[in-house]
Structure 1
Amino acid sequence: MLEVQKQLWHYLGRFLCISRANMSVDYSVRGSVAVLEVNNPPVNALGHSVRHGLKSGVEQAARDNKVKSIVIIGKGQTFPAGADIREFGKASKDPWLVEVGHTIEASLKPVVAAIHGTCLGGGLEIALFSHFRIAVPSSRVGFPEVALGLLPGAGGTQRLSRLTGLQVAMEMIYSGRHVASKKAKEYGIIDEIVTGDLMTAALKYAESVQGRTLNERRLGHKAVPNTDSVEKYTSAAMAQVKKKYKGFEAPVACVQAVRASAELPYLEGMERERELFNHLKASGQAWAQQYAFFAERAVSRWEMPRGSYKTAKPLPVRSTAVVGAGTMGSGIAVCLLSAGLPVYLLEQNDKFLQSGVKMIENIMAGSVKLGKVSMETAKKAATLLKPTLNYNDLKDVDLVIEAVYEDLALKREVFSGLDKVCKPSVILCTNTSTIDIDRISTATSRPDRVVGTHFFAPAYHMRLLENIYGTKTSPEAVATVMKLGKTINKVAVLVKSCEGFLANRMNGPFNTEATFLVEEGASPQEVDQINEDFGMPIGPFKVRDLSGTDISWRINREVAKALGTTITKETRFLGGNRYCGLNDDFFDKGRYGRKTGKGWYLYEKVGGKIPTVDAESEEIINNYRQRRQISKRKITPQEILERQFYSCINEGFRILEEGICNTPEEIDISWIYGFSYPKYRGGPMFYASQIGLKRIYERICHYHETCPYSIHWVPSRLLKKLAENDVPFSQWSNHVAKSKSKM
């Protein structure tokens, strides 16, 4: 655990600028109002000197007979937006935030919190200790601590419910949801929304409450409403937590802490909150989630091993096009349209084109219904979409994304067509999931403008955007697609081109081993269950049914074609590697997954979501084993977990070895946002560091001996070196950089 802490401090030094050395609170008196102006840019984090400044400021105002009320306000862009995360894991210096808060609450002079920007975490707790709260219309409040594996630790779980009631408090805290000022006023969190200059409004409001009796304004003295419904609200909240946040500890603890606010006296509730906070703080989940938080920010600092990437400026993208109106192409179009970008949607015939348009309309309508996009955004998107059957309509667009089938010949044909009609400055992107970018870019006269933009299904939902550069891709093209990722609200990870790139290359052995495990004796449902117990949202065979077994079938044929061979019923090796044809047998039976109502599982209808085991699926597997003369054996849950996840980890180290990416963080973020790897485990590489590289290496060597015909079990040289030298996780990237410099 100490090593994980060191890694987090390392990130803080590299990527965060939370506070200045001279953190302070500016104290002034304006008429009869003392103003405590938090002056700690950029986000007015509640570091030690800010806490000290707030406490001493309230005490100074108490001693000044001229002062009749107090205003706490943030200087610059925001009210205090939370704790100073540079202090995470360190011994906190007095005064603690709770002590500051109780000093504010005990003041005999009214304290007004004047909120603008984002009032989050400890900032909202300071506001809740204040007697009155006003805010500008654009401000937002919330408790985001759950995203770091924690809960509000300075009274937030005990005080919010006294204003909003249990139901709202539980949901706000376990979800980490930010609430706009208008809704916050409806909830009772904000007393008044003000317009114009906030300081002027705050002074006026503070003057208006001078002399007010404050007992009913001190939340520590206030009862939680509707305490007779504690069990009802707790049960409902826990049901939602189990549904939305399966496996996460922090949301459960958040509900438990808020429940304590209704069942215990205030001070005892505060003790219960601290007990739950300390338990979470020491847990592996909190460290993993905090690691993931910083890792996400780290990957945004992309770099290429060559070219002027540091000075490369992205080209303007004012108009776009998507070639292919299938499931993926339509999803990509939704991403672009939702960001306000005009999109030409190109298809080969009107039937496919209209199907794509309908799909986009349905996705947007569903997003509006779920509150993910506004009705205004959806209406604007409809005007920005330009369906077409004519390549010439794309002649002036700034960026094109090809999203046709995973077929090299077809993709080269598309790029050749684009090369003929598009303007010289256009960026040509391919949504390929496996094919080396160089094999596509040679179909054009401008390989420097060709780059991979690999979206993950469903494209409008999954946040990962894997951007891939080839040997000729220019830094400007890379800079453009990396900026595009931010524009469309994706987490963009830059990787070097190779077969499978980063995410799918690691997913290869992960999925291959799943099939081998079934071939040897496990059932698809056993493999899926182990994965889901580990924290994956759905198992690998349910994933295949979701994407379609025909996708795997096509990819395997492309691999065989590249190797100059074909796949038959008797194929047992492909490119010298063990091959399992079970997926082919399901494909031959027309079991393509949800789209046909049957795949590895049976579904209640075509397009259905509820999987059930059926006799035909079991028969296909049994017949396959008999044809291959494979004796079914009992496979333990531990073997299933190791063969899938450890083979994936081994491939991750190879990717680092080969310079496909630069850091383990890029791998972990790719899996968190591309395959919904459980964030509370930090990602495959972070997980490996927690298990211990010596143990990982030992088991990989074991499977290399017992599974000699799978190249993915050949131990990575980098893994071997790191394991033998017991290199801590915080130094992996340095070793990767040194290894690449010697290549």
Structure 2
Amino acid sequence: MAEGIHYSVREGVALLSVDHPPVNALSHPVRAGIEAALDRAEDDPTVDAVVVMGTGSTFPAGADLTEYESGLKAPFLRDICARVEACAKPVIAALHGTVYGGGLELALAAHYRIALQGTRASLPEVRMGLTPSAGATQRLPRLVGTPLALELMLTGGTLPLDRGPGLSLIDETCVGNLRDQALAYARRLLEAGQGPRPTSERRDGFADYATHTQAIATRRGALTDGADSAMAQVLHLVEAAALLPFETGIAMEQDAFETCLASDAAKALRHAFTAERLARRFALPKGTVLPEINRIAVLGPGPLAMQITVSALNAGIGVNWGAREPEKLREGVEQLREVFAAGVKGGGLSPEQSQARLQLLHWGESAEMIGGADMVLHAARGQGDVPAPRGTIRAVAMSARVDELGLRFAPPVFSTRLVEVVQGADGTAEQLAYGLALAERMHKVPVHVMSSGTSIAGRLAAALHRAADALLDLGADPYAVDAAVEDWGWPRPPFRTRDMMGLEDLSSAHRAEGAENWSSVLVDVDRRGWVSGKGFYDWTDDGPERSDAVKRLLNGQRAARPLEQMDMVMLLVGAMANEGARMLSEGMAQKASDIDAVAILAQDFPRAKGGPMMAVGQWGMLKVMKKLERLDHADTDFWMPQASWAEHVKYGRTFLSR
């Protein structure tokens, strides 16, 4: 067996099985193995056809992302795809699992495709600031047409291949044993005299040229990224696919990929993509099998419980929603039904899907709702002593002390993908496994946190607002701070965000002697944020407006002094990174990449900047560290860089160096 490849021949059909767990990534040894196996099959006179498939749970699900940082080596994936397409014997891709990225590009290069029921496909490269690199921009529109090709490549979304538009990517679906079905399909092709069918020679997708040009124009008109962005490059390449020779399009795609690969934005986007994957790797004992969670009990009335319930029902999880006084749930249940009704009205749900989800809901008195639940979530106070069978896993989902297991869902739970799985001082590996399993089942990104209830998102937000207040202490205009953050690409500037949240909670946050809590100052004059119509901004029907009254108030207590835009951004992000370093040194956070994942998912930190730990590395660790050290501000303990910062600088590392 070549490394990562099983090779066998059955009744004139060569079987090439990629075996590179966990997702059969197309690493350099695997690519070399496929190339060698194809040569062997083509040279073997007893072989009439070739089947390429994956062992385990999936067909190859993409590239090995570590190679993007260490450097790609020949044979490149584009070479392997060209080799597959040029094979003199028909090549069939037998698909199952998640056919993502480079795996889908390999499948597109095959002459025929058969997919097991439930197979899904995706081209997520744009989410990493990249174009496809192995011919997808040229082959996919030829095969399925420009509208669907652009939908896949510009959104990075997932497409089921066993129904709807996904059927246009494949030649046949099957159930049962994929290997046997693929062999039978190959023999039917041979019996029918079907030989190689290169996708590069097909023009089916361009039959209606007006549809092609209209799809390009529509997407280009909606594009908000720059002309050099991966999305803009994909549009350019797909447009060229209908006009230029295939080989020219492939050369253009290679050039676009290499340009994107070298950009800081793509590096940050790759890091963000990888950080979400790494976050899922909890340090559980070897051999731990995650439990199946099909029904949960959510205890307590209120908005948090309702949102968790809706999110769980959307994921197909049964929910027993309980309260000590069940009548307090009636309003929440009605709101829940309205949420699903709105989904049907908006077209996101069918009436049948809505009804199926509602049928998963039971509600009533708390003690009665425990039965049949795989775990219990406490989503409001006053539910902690509800009796449950011995061994029942409980998790604190509200903002409260965590001794064993907590779950901190980033708000709003409906739409955000983050849940921090908090392991308290007495938490066990079994409890942690339950928290991870539920997060995965709810399609959330789980991040492991060691604390008594504090979340990473909470500490990052507190650091950001503490730093923003310090900038005002130093004379900055709050509107200039917000503008600097927005111009840098972060759509949640600190002072406007405070107003939207309400200033009262922040007004009690700690500040050092000589440093001011400016939210408290505004609350004292009855400026409480958006809810009261005035905070740092005056809020009108047309949105926020800058307030002269706030400027007079600030300038009456400190001397106004303009600060450089980029200095303000670096100080704000640097303060967050410093807080991240503090959490790492305390053992609260497990990995620097976890902190970046939380910032992106909970605080809308721009993915193209990679998170605060990534951003300070791209600016230069020494440069940002010196800015923090030299800041003349009373809150010296907060601004003093953590010891690990100097250690990284000494050895030329960043927070993300391995």
Instruction: Note if contact 1:174-1:241 (Cα within 8 Å) is conserved in structure 2.
Output: no
Alignment equivalent of 2:434, drawn from 476, 480, 487: 480
Cα distance between partner residues in 2 of 1:186 and 1:61: 30
Contact 1:671 1:677 in 2 (8 A): yes
Contact persistence 1:171–1:237 (CA under 8 A): no
- Within-5 A mapping of 1:55-74: 55=35, 58=38, 62=42, 68-74=48-54
Secondary structure, counterpart of 1:260 in structure 2: helix
Amino acid at match of 1:624: L
Q: Which residue of 1 aligns with 2:257?
A: 277
Question: Conserved in 2, the CA contact under 8 Å of 1:215 and 1:221?
Answer: no
Q: Kindly provide the CA deviation profile for residues 199-252 of structure 1, in whole angstroms up to 9, marking residues without a partner as x.
A: 44434443444475879754245373444566542342245552xx79993333
Out of 486-495 and 512-521, give the one that drifted further.
Answer: 512-521
CA displacement 1:533-554 (0-9 Å, x = unmatched): 33324323443344x30xx413
In structure 2, do the counterparts of structure 1 residues 39 and 645 end up closer, same or farther at CA, with 3 Å as the change threshold? closer
| 8 Å contact kept, 2:111–2:196 | no
SS at match of 1:661: coil
The equivalent position to 1:674 in structure 2, one of 582, 588, 602, is 602
Alignment partner of 2:554 out of 618, 625, 648: 625
Question: In the alignment, what sits opposite 2:544?
Answer: 613
Rate the CA distance shift 1:319–1:226 in 2: closer, same or farther, 3 A: closer
- Once residues 685 and 504 of structure 1 are traced to their aligned partners in structure 2, the CA distance between those partners, rounded to angstroms, is 16
Q: Residue type of the partner of 2:359?
A: T
Q: Return the match for 2:19 from 40, 56, 61.
A: 40
TM-score by length of 1: 0.76
AA matched with 2:385: D
Mapped to 1, the partners of 2:167 and 2:443 lie a distance apart of 29
Would the aligned equivalents of 2:378 and 2:397 in 1 still touch at CA under 8 Å? Answer: yes
| Residue in structure 2 matching 1:162, options 123, 142, 150 | 142
**Structure 1 540/214 Cα, relative in aligned 2: closer, same or farther at 3 Å?**
farther
**Amino acid across the alignment from 1:356:** G
Q: Structure 2: which amino acid aligns with 1:346?
A: A
Q: Cα deviations across residues 557-603 of structure 1 (Å, max 9, x unaligned)?
A: 4x58xxxxxxxxxxxxx56362334466369647543x677665566
Residue 507 of structure 1 is aligned with which of 444, 450, 461?
461
Tell me which of 359, 362, 381 is aligned to 1:383.
Answer: 359
Question: Which moved further from structure 2: 144-153 or 645-654?
Answer: 144-153
Q: Is the 8 A contact 2:370 2:376 kept in 1?
A: no
Structure 2 unmatched ranges of 5 or more: none
C-alpha separation between the residues in 2 aligned to 1:701 and 1:370?
52
Q: Counterpart in 2 of 1:419?
A: 385
Residue-by-residue CA offset, 1:431-454 (whole Å, 9 max, x unaligned):
455x6x2xxx6xxxxxx5x43322
- Assess, with a 3 A threshold, how the Cα gap between structure 1 residues 686 and 150 changes in structure 2: closer, same or farther: same
Partner of 1:6: none
Secondary structure, aligned partner of 2:558: coil
- Are 1:193 and 2:173 counterparts? yes
2:50·2:92 contact (CA, 8 Å) conserved in 1?
yes
Cross-structure match for 1:174: 154
2:118 equivalent to 1:138:
yes
Match of 1:726 among 637, 651, 654: 651
Structure 2 counterpart of 1:708 = 634
> Relative to 1, partners in 2 of residues 1:267 and 1:543: Cα closer, same or farther, differing over 3 Å?
same
Match of 1:717 in 2: 643
Question: If the length of structure 2 is used for normalisation, what is the TM-score?
Answer: 0.85
Name the Cα RMSD after superposition: 3.9
1:162 Cα deviation from its structure 2 partner: 0.8
Q: Distance in 2 between matches of 1:263 and 1:586?
A: 63
Q: Would the alpha carbon gap of residues 28 and 237 (structure 1) be closer, same or farther in structure 2, given more than 3 Å must change?
A: same
Measured in 1, the distance between the counterparts of 2:594 and 2:199 equals: 47
Deviation digits for residues 603-632 of structure 1, max 9, x if unmatched?
A: 676xxxxx6333xx6144135226x43343
**Cα distance in 1 between the residues matched to 2:237 and 2:109:** 18
Q: Does residue 554 of structure 1 match 2:491?
A: no
Residue 515 of structure 2 corresponds to 578
Whole-Å separation in 2 of the counterparts to 1:287 and 1:179: 26
2:24/2:59 contact within 8 Å kept? yes
What residue in structure 2 maps to residue 299 of structure 1?
A: 279
Q: Residues 385 and 596 of structure 1: is their aligned pair in 2 closer, same or farther, counting only changes over 3 Å? A: farther
Q: 1:612-669 CA deviation, whole Å, 9 max, x = no partner?
A: 333xx6144135226x433433333123212311121222222222232233122222
Q: Which runs of 5+ in 1 are unaligned?
A: 1-19, 405-410, 442-447, 561-573, 606-610, 734-743
Structure 2 residue corresponding to 1:219, chosen from 200, 223, 226: 200
- In structure 2, the partner of 1:10 is none
Residue 26 (structure 1) aligns with: 7
**Cα shift at 1:132:** 2.5
Query: What amino acid is the match of 1:667?
Result: I
Aligned to 2:306: 330
Q: Which residue of 1 aligns with 2:484?
A: 530
- How many residue pairs get aligned? The number is 653
Distance 1:403 1:556, change over 3 A: farther
